[in-house]
Structure 1
Amino acid sequence: MRLFPIAAALTLAACGTAQSTQYFVLPDSQYIRPATHGSEIAVKVNLAEPLANGGLVYQTDAYHVNLAKNHLWAAPLDGALAANLSNKLNRLNPHRTFVPASRSQSSQTLKIYIEAFQGSYQGQTTISGYAQWPDGR
């Protein structure tokens, strides 16, 4: 009976322990300038509000998302996505050079709007958005 108060105190103390912060890196998020040089296009990523806070986002049901406080991106998500997409576009199109907007001097900008980028209660990753080419398409 004497051990019960001690066990209860230890259990409550464990609940109050702060969770350590973990940082995550988006794959292929280090920009690599291609060897071939075509006309340069800046890649600018615009994030929906919940994605711009630095934390990972998890959809808990059909209508709610949870913004992580202890699971954060190691670098700003918009910049990491701009580098990732620039790398992928450069591998697909050798006639143009895609460069993250923060590193580009080009007046030609490919605007990418990311509306969702989150894990889901259904065990899937949800990514959605759209792009606008410099000519408005």
Structure 2
Amino acid sequence: MMPFNTKRLSSLSLLLGLALAGCAGSNEPGTAAYLLPASSAEQRHDARLTVLVAPVALAAFLEGDGIVMQLDDIEVHQARNHLWAEALPEQLRRLLLDRLSASLPQAQVIARGQPSAGNMPAREVRLQLDRFQGRFDGMALIQGHWQLLNGRGELLEQRAFRLETPLTADGYPALVRALAGGWEQLADQLAASLVASLAS
């Protein structure tokens, strides 16, 4: 049995309060819209390749405008007053493109469907997100799986991921920043896997 943790109880109370406050109609004053922030990539890889990034696929419950909170082990709530300022899949793909471009400065990193130079080895990145939410214990949770394919569409690697990032403060802004930090960690892992795929 877990020991009584007042900090955890405080986080739970706050997150429940935030989720319930979001139940009010989105036309009421106090509605906030959020964009995922970006930071500089610290590690850069020396690799020449073309990276095609497919649209990010989301679980159905993540597709709305509201930021998702997990209230306990089974219940999730989509906020009505704390919204994504832009559709989440588009934000995630743009951040992934930017992060991979920074991590792989000699690579051509483009959205799938855009024209490519065609003279470098090609890799396609596909991502499925099953969790992208705040959690009742004060953590931001990102979970899903990714695939790397070669230029002929053959599967090179497939991996599941689960990233948990603690919130540094209370509230939705801290949650958005923690989710962005987890997404950047995932992008860095993908950059390393893309480089490794050239040697296999």
Asked if Structure 1 and Structure 2 have the same fold, meaning a TM-score greater than 0.5 normalized by the shorter chain, the answer is yes
Q: Unaligned regions of 5+ residues in structure 1, if any? A: 1-14, 30-37
Give, in whole Å, the separation in 1 of the partners of 2:95 and 2:137: 26
Superposed displacement of residue 63, structure 1: 0.8
Which residue of the partner structure matches residue 99 of structure 2? 88
Which residue of the partner structure matches residue 144 of structure 2? 129
Number of residue equivalences: 115
Give, in whole Å, the separation in 2 of the partners of 1:83 and 1:47: 15
Which residue of the partner structure matches residue 50 of structure 1? 61
Which residue of the partner structure matches residue 36 of structure 2? 26
The TM-score normalised by the length of structure 1 is: 0.70
Q: Is 1:76 matched up with 2:78?
A: no
Match of 2:74 among 40, 63, 77: 63
Which residue of the partner structure matches residue 11 of structure 1? none
Q: Is the 8 A contact 2:71 2:136 kept in 1?
A: yes
Letter in 2 for 1:130: H
Q: Which has the higher strand share?
A: 1
SS in 2 for 1:111: strand
Give, in whole Å, the separation in 2 of the partners of 1:77 and 1:99: 18
Give, in whole Å, the separation in 2 of the partners of 1:27 and 1:90: 16
1:54-109 C-alpha deviation (Å, 9 max, x unpaired): 2100000011110112211111111110111111112222332222347x235953
**Structure 2 CA distance for partners of 1:78 and 1:101, relative to 1, 3 Å:** farther
Q: Unaligned regions of 5+ residues in structure 2, if any? A: 1-23, 40-47, 117-121, 158-200
Greater Rg, structure 1 or structure 2? 1
Q: Which has the higher helix share?
A: 2
